[in-house]
Amino acid sequence: MSEENRTPALDPAAARDLLDRARAARRNAYAPYSNFPVGAALLARDGRVFTGVNVENASYGLCNCAERVAVGKAVSEGVRDFAAIAVIGPEDDVECSPCGACRQVLFEFGPDMVLVMPNGGGVRQYLVRELLPGAFDAARLPPVQGTPV
């Protein structure tokens, strides 16, 4: 979805609803060190929505991002097929792009997953693959006998 030929991959009303769910989840973020609360809402293809928030720790390397928390919740419930994820930071009208680690995790579960973020008074949509060119994927791994790739 280039800037010149931007075709929303998610219905605008559905994108706004998903962003609203991320905004509501953000209230539960645990961000005492950065004061940068983030909320995420992950839409499974079956229609279920899994939310996540960032969970910080005094040992910064142990922090969990909202996007990965949402993915973990979904996977723990047996869901692995996703249509979209909305992410919102502390400001309601400013894009909050996923970090590199989250981009890689999202790519694992759906390179064509739609990423929804606020943009001014509107909503902006990307495909995960647009944010992680040259992503590392299972095709780069040698096959392991008896394990599907």
**Using an 8 Å Cβ cutoff, are 49 and 41 in contact?**
yes
End-to-end CA distance of the chain: 28
Q: From the candidates 3, 4, 56, 67, give the one annotated as an active-site residue.
A: 67
Q: Is 67 a catalytic residue?
A: yes
**What DSSP letter does each residue of 49-99 carry, written as one string?**
EEEEE-B--SSGGG-B-HHHHHHHHHHHTT---EEEEEEE-SSTTS--PPP
Q: Which residue in 95, 91, 115, 117 sits closest to 105, CA to CA?
A: 115
Would you please indicate which residues are annotated as catalytic (active-site) residues? 67
